[in-house]
Structure 1
Amino acid sequence: MKFFIDTANLEDIQKAYKIGVLSGVTTNPSLVAKENIKFEDRIAEICREVPDVESVSAEVTPNAITAEEMITEAEELININEGDDKITIKLPMNLEGLEACRYLSGKGVKTNVTLIFTVNQALLAARAGATYVSPFLGRLDDISEDGVLLVSKIAELFRLQKLDSQIIAASVRHPDHVTRVALAGADIATIPFQVIEQISKHPLTDQGIAKFAADWK
C-alpha cells in the first residue's frame, strides 16, 4: 500500500516527502482555504515541492455543477504547472462527475472520484475510467458503519471484475485505520502528517533507543 498525504500545508508535505515514503498528495478547496492562499498557487507550489510523486490532486469547485463546467475547470487545473502529468483531477461521485470522469480519462487525464460510500458507487467510478476511487471510511465510522469493510468489499470486487482503478482509503483518522485498510486491500492510504508521525512511533522503540544511547555513554 502506498502513502499519499492529505493536506495543503507545505511544511507537512515537505516533512513527509523527506521521509521518502510519499507517493502523492491529496487536497481539496477546504484544505487550501486553511492556508490563506489562492488555490491554483498552492497546487503549483505543491507540484514543485514533490517533483517525483505520482499524483497531486486538484479538485473542481462546488460551483462546477454540470459535467461541462467540471471539464472546463479541469482543463484550467491541468495547466496550473505547465501541464504537469502528475496533476489528478478530483471529481464528485455523482452522474455529472462520472460524465466528466469518462471524458477526462479518455483524454489521458488522471482522475480521482471522491466521496464514495458504497461498493456500487466505486463500481460506477471504475467503469467511468477513474484512475483512483476514494471511499471515505472515517465518515462512515462516524455514523456507525464499517468504513474498512467497505474498502475490503471494493478491493474484492475490483479483483473479481479485473478493474484497474486504484483504491484510495480516505478520511483515515488513526493508526489502526492504516493497518486495517492495508490488510483490506487498499492500494493507497491518504493520511494527515499527524497520522504518519503516529505510525512511525512505539514506546518500546523509544525505550530501546534510549537504552542504546545510555549504554554507549
Structure 2
Amino acid sequence: MELIIDSSNIEQIKELNELLTITGVTTNPTILTKSNREAMDVVKDLCEVLSEEQLLFIQTVQTSFEGIMEEAKMISSIRNKNISIRNKNMYVKIPVTHEGLRAIKECKKLGIHTLATAIYTADQAFLAAMNGAEYLAPYTNRMCNYGDGVQNVKDLIEMLRVNHMPAKVIAASFKNTYQVHELIKAGIQAVTVPCDVLYQMIDHPGTKIAVGEFSVNWQRAYNRNTLEK
C-alpha cells in the first residue's frame, strides 16, 4: 500500500517523511492556499523535500477543457526543465467534471499521468479509470454525508478488481483514523492522509506511558539511562 501525505505544510511533511515510509504528497487548491504563500513557491519547496522517486500530485485550477489541458501540460513538466518531457512521478489532479473527464482522456493520449479527484461515487471513479486515470481519489469523509462513504470506497476497490482495471484507489478526505484503518483492512492501494490524522495514527498515550515505565525501572535497577556502563 502507498502512504501519501495530503498537505502543503513543509515542516510537517519533512518530519513525517523522516518518520514514515512515504510514497509522496498530494495537494489541491485549498491546501495550497492554507500555506499563506505563493502556490508555486510551495510546489518548488515540495520538489526539494521529496526525492525523485516520490510522487507529487498538483491539481489544475482552471475549469474549462482548454484551461485544464494547458495547466496539465505545465504541471506534468514541473520536475523537468524541458516542458515537453513528462516526469513519471509528477501527477496532475483533475476533478471528475464533464470537462475534467474529457481532459483525463486527452491526458492519457499525451502520456500525462493523472489522478481523478473530487469523486463522490464509485461510479464516477470507475468512469474516470476507463478514461485512463491512474489514481482515483474518492472523498471518503465527504461521501459519508451522502451515505456510507467507507463502504462506497470498498465497492470501488472491488469494481476495479473484478474488471481487471489497473487504476489505483487513493482514498482522500479523511477526518479520523477509523476511516483509514477500515480501508487499509479492505486492501486499498493507497491513502492520502492529512498530517494531523497521520500523527494520530502514530501517537498513543499508552506508548508514552510504557516508555516512561521502562526508563524508571532501568534507572532504579542500574542507576543509568544507557544499555551499557
What's the TM-score once normalised by structure 2's chain length? 0.88
Instruction: Please show how residues 139-154 of structure 1 align to structure 2 within 5 Å.
Output: 139-141=142-144, 143=145, 145-154=147-156
Q: Structure 1: which 5+ runs fail to align? A: none
Q: How far has the Cα of 1:52 moved from its partner?
A: 4.0
- After superposition, the CA RMSD in angstroms is 1.5
1:93 alignment counterpart: 96
1:214 alignment counterpart: 216
Tell me the distance in 1 between the aligned counterparts of 2:182 and 2:41.
35
Q: Deviations over 1:134-193 (max 9, x none)?
A: 11011122x252111011000000000000111011001111111111122321111111
Q: Deviations over 1:79-126 (max 9, x none)?
A: 333254322100011221111111212222210100111121011010
Q: How far has the Cα of 1:34 moved from its partner?
A: 1.5
2:191 alignment counterpart: 189
Instruction: Please show how residues 29-108 of structure 1 align to structure 2 within 5 Å.
Output: 29-61=29-61, 64-82=62-80, 84-108=87-111
Tell me the distance in 1 between the aligned counterparts of 2:108 and 2:21.
27
Change (3 A) 1:84 1:43: farther
2:223 alignment counterpart: none
Given that residues 40 and 77 in structure 1 are in contact (C-alpha distance below 8 angstroms), is that contact kept between their aligned partners in structure 2? Answer: no
- Relative to structure 2, which stretch is displaced further, 153-162 or 82-91? 82-91
- Give the secondary structure class of the aligned counterpart of 2:23: strand
Given candidates 172, 175, 189, the residue that maps to 2:174 is 172
What's the TM-score once normalised by structure 1's chain length? 0.93
Q: How many residues align?
A: 214
Give the residue type in structure 1 aligned to 2:46: I
Q: Does 1:126 align with 2:129?
A: yes
